Structure 1
Amino acid sequence: MKIPYKFFLLFLSVATVVSCGNADDDVNFAIDPGDGLGEGKPVDECLDLGENDLVLSIQDQYTTPPGKVSVFFKVSDSNGNPVSGLSADQFTIYEQGRNDECFGTISTSESKARISPNSQIFTNNTILVLDLSASVLETSLEELKTASISFVNTVMPTPAQESYKMAIYWFNGENKLHVLNELTPSKEELTTSIEGITEDISNDPSTDLYGAVIKSSEIANDLLNESTEGDKIGAASLVIFTDGTDQASRYKKEDAQKRVDNANPNISFFTIGLGTEIDTQVLTDLGKTSSEFATNKEDLENTFKNISDKVSERANSFYLFEYCSPKRDGSGESNLAIQVKNGSLQGAVQTKFSANGFTGGCE
């Protein structure tokens, strides 16, 4: 199928914005790339829905007897920023059977359309990496602990869910990424570990920032691979805090940047910098999804809060949308278009499903 000219122009403009910015760039705007990041295609022109301000990136879809269609996707704006908090009444369903010239609207109430909990098929891991070199321990440890606990409270859901987990690591000048708390869904366990950080936790005053980036990127990739075994779909967020530049000189900046740039696209990278000794350009490059900077320790909690909000928005921009189709066994394959409206913005995506085995009585 040919890509509509308007969509092609939109694609080019979005690609340019995303490639030059410091926004969430893990949204894949390609058509049917085959890599699990964005299945689907632009909606048929017969619907005349207009240009897309929002991008629906299908991650997975399946059908369940007697007639339920489930589509799991991520919603982003045209700048690649995640869109969270959508409800079922903001979606419109269109179906096109083999006897239909164009799509017909399916009533969301009659089809029992809903946004369902996605924990059965989706996992989200967050890795918080803290610089505990001498400068932090001596001047801003209490502020860092308060900010980190606030970060945990924002990112981790209440009550705890097995599909949302976090691990905390720390680094100094050693050629090692230290574990503060293994991956866990427990907010209380993470908080206790942070509260237990003392000034004597580290005996190396140097900073191995690039080593920490390389090692934590490997951990994030391994966790993503483990959490997506079987039929699971997953995402990971890596958040790195530092108050300085790399002093250990054990690894090169180019090698750390390569790990970030070549990482699984479903891993987001965030950086937080404190003080006047940081290199903001380096941290912006390494935090390719987003970066925040605090000029003094009193601003650290707000800076962590800004990043935690973005991490949460990203995790909550994945939706499991389900509805009961009126199509029945014997109707073959049908085209499906899903449109979402959020204020003045709209976007849509098209896919298809098989109604084999469909009967009435869908719940």
Structure 2
Amino acid sequence: MKTCIKFLSLCFIVFSLASCGNAEDDVAFDFNANGDLGIGKPVDDCLDLGENDLILSIQDKFTTLPGKVSVFFRVSDALGNPVSGLTADQFTIYEQGRNDDCFNTISTSESFARISPNSQIFSNNTLLVLDLSNSVLSSSLNELKSASVSFIENVMPATAEDSFKMAIYWFDGEDELHLLQPLTSVKDELTLAIEGITDDISEDPSTDLYGAVIKSTDIAEGLLDEARANSTISAASVVLFTDGTDQASRYSETEALAQVQEADLNISFYTIGLGGEIDAEILAEIGRTFSVFAVNKEELETTFNDISFRVSERANSFYLFEYCTPKRDGSGTNNLAIQVTDGSLQGAVQTEFNATGFSGGCQ
């Protein structure tokens, strides 16, 4: 069974659009400290489901009377790339009680199986961090604003959801990560903030890139700590744009890279580089999840769209799967296996639930 997510890195820069990608295998919550399957485990061989092409990593599970079982998990492929857009009819439920030699298939229609909103137990925050040093303001501001608006449109849900929020920050040469727009779930607020950027917004023409990396990581860590304090599962994405290298020399390259490498694994890092003055190798290390590079400002929107797709896919690869079990009070602890199929790919994970107090009437 494939329970190890492999890493995939593909980096290149040519005279046109170039990108460097790392496999999206950097999700781990306090709930899922047991490896790729989270708090789940490999499915019993008696089901003979074969090897996993898809990885279901259970983040949390709970039951609700009179008989509902809820499992919150993330789906990725064998390379760690997120798998979004799955529907309830792509899942098969198997249960094994005390009198069963193996698992029995449970009808998804009779059990009212469904994919439910996960907003009550999951929050996803994106930090868009923009380089507004003099080189950007003087030569590519309009293209950056257009690309940023497109990024917002692609990442944020069509209808505002409290569980999906974005904040916008910017940096120049000052020892400060400037807040342009606080966390919000409202697209229009984010768009207006971008449109309000003027070419005289900065008073320091230098570039404190490493400081921006360190400070944005601290902010993302704080959001995760806040979510944990509220018993919420959380993930964050830091998306950083720059057209150059660190010029302020206030912080070292070693400090910035260590901040990323030691960051909570629930934080994804994406970088977008523009022009020939960037250090592609450093940006790829900062963008440990994925990096893209544009040779000129005309390619900016394409690169932002590339990143927005990946950020959105990751956020939408978390699922709250619920069904009404036929098990009743007195059956004790039962084994549960969930299998998902997506075209020719399949994956499954096993866990258990306690049916104490369960009765009929669940819908």
For each residue in 1:200-243, what CA deviation from the matched residue of structure 2 results, as whole angstroms up to 9, or x when unmatched?
00121111111100000000010121133333111111000000
Deviation at 1:38, TM superposition (A): 1.4
Is 1:69 aligned to residue 91 of structure 2? Answer: no
Is 1:160 aligned to residue 180 of structure 2? Answer: no
Residue 337 of structure 2 aligns to which amino acid in structure 1?
A: A
Structure 2: how far apart are the matches of 1:298 and 1:19? 23
Residue 292 of structure 1 aligns to which amino acid in structure 2?
A: V
Deviation at 1:15, TM superposition (A): 4.0
Residue 200 of structure 1 aligns to which amino acid in structure 2?
A: D
Question: Structure 1 residues 36 and 25, CA, compared in 2 at 3 Å: closer, same or farther?
Answer: closer
Match of 1:216 in 2: 216
Match of 1:42 in 2: 42
Structure 2: how far apart are the matches of 1:37 and 1:183? 31
For each residue in 1:225-283, what CA deviation from the matched residue of structure 2 results, as whole angstroms up to 9, or x when unmatched?
11333331111110000000111111111111111111111110000000111111111
Taking structure 1 as the reference length, the TM-score comes to: 0.94
Match of 2:354 in 1: 354
Structure 2: how far apart are the matches of 1:11 and 1:72? 18
Taking structure 2 as the reference length, the TM-score comes to: 0.94
Structure 1: how far apart are the matches of 2:6 and 2:314? 19
Question: Structure 1 residues 287 and 255, CA, compared in 2 at 3 Å: closer, same or farther?
Answer: same
RMSD: 1.9
Q: Percent identity?
A: 68
Three-state SS of the structure 1 residue aligned to 2:229 is: coil
Contact 1:28 1:37 in 2 (8 A): no
Match of 1:58 in 2: 58
Question: Structure 1 residues 348 and 190, CA, compared in 2 at 3 Å: closer, same or farther?
Answer: same
- What pairs up with 1:211-290 in 2 under 5 angstroms? 211-290=211-290
Structure 2: how far apart are the matches of 1:76 and 1:178? 35
Deviation at 1:27, TM superposition (A): 3.9
Residue 274 of structure 1 aligns to which amino acid in structure 2?
A: L
Deviation at 1:160, TM superposition (A): 0.7
5+ long unaligned stretches in structure 1: 1-6
Residue 241 of structure 1 aligns to which amino acid in structure 2?
A: F
Three-state SS of the structure 1 residue aligned to 2:212 is: helix
Residue 143 of structure 2 aligns to which amino acid in structure 1?
A: E
Structure 2: how far apart are the matches of 1:247 and 1:63? 54
Question: Structure 1 residues 222 and 257, CA, compared in 2 at 3 Å: closer, same or farther?
Answer: same
5+ long unaligned stretches in structure 2: 12-20
For each residue in 1:62-99, what CA deviation from the matched residue of structure 2 results, as whole angstroms up to 9, or x when unmatched?
00000000000000001111000000000000000011
Residue 294 of structure 1 aligns to which amino acid in structure 2?
A: A
Match of 2:328 in 1: 328
Structure 1: how far apart are the matches of 2:103 and 2:44? 9
Contact 2:7 2:80 in 1 (8 A): no
Structure 1: how far apart are the matches of 2:173 and 2:41? 48
Structure 2: how far apart are the matches of 1:169 and 1:92? 43
Is 1:96 aligned to residue 102 of structure 2? Answer: no
**4+ long deviations beyond 3 Å:** 14-21, 34-37
Structure 2: how far apart are the matches of 1:356 and 1:231? 24
For each residue in 1:141-173, what CA deviation from the matched residue of structure 2 results, as whole angstroms up to 9, or x when unmatched?
000000001111111112111111110000011
Three-state SS of the structure 2 residue aligned to 1:256 is: helix
Structure 1: how far apart are the matches of 2:28 and 2:213? 24
Structure 2: how far apart are the matches of 1:346 and 1:37? 14
Deviation at 1:35, TM superposition (A): 8.8
Is 1:307 aligned to residue 291 of structure 2? Answer: no
Deviation at 1:33, TM superposition (A): 2.7
Residue 176 of structure 2 aligns to which amino acid in structure 1?
A: K
Contact 2:7 2:23 in 1 (8 A): no
Match of 1:345 in 2: 345
Residue 324 of structure 1 aligns to which amino acid in structure 2?
A: C
Is 1:112 aligned to residue 112 of structure 2? Answer: yes
Three-state SS of the structure 1 residue aligned to 2:22 is: coil
Residue 82 of structure 2 aligns to which amino acid in structure 1?
A: P
Contact 1:32 1:41 in 2 (8 A): no
Three-state SS of the structure 2 residue aligned to 1:298 is: helix
Question: Structure 1 residues 179 and 236, CA, compared in 2 at 3 Å: closer, same or farther?
Answer: same
Match of 1:183 in 2: 183
For each residue in 1:101-123, what CA deviation from the matched residue of structure 2 results, as whole angstroms up to 9, or x when unmatched?
11010000110100001111111
Is 1:291 aligned to residue 291 of structure 2? Answer: yes
Structure 1: how far apart are the matches of 2:114 and 2:275? 46
Structure 1: how far apart are the matches of 2:229 and 2:86? 28
Question: Structure 1 residues 338 and 187, CA, compared in 2 at 3 Å: closer, same or farther?
Answer: same
Contact 1:275 1:294 in 2 (8 A): yes
Contact 2:8 2:22 in 1 (8 A): no
Residue 191 of structure 1 aligns to which amino acid in structure 2?
A: T
Structure 2: how far apart are the matches of 1:194 and 1:274? 18
Structure 2: how far apart are the matches of 1:24 and 1:89? 26
Structure 2: how far apart are the matches of 1:146 and 1:27? 30
Three-state SS of the structure 1 residue aligned to 2:193 is: helix
Three-state SS of the structure 2 residue aligned to 1:228 is: helix
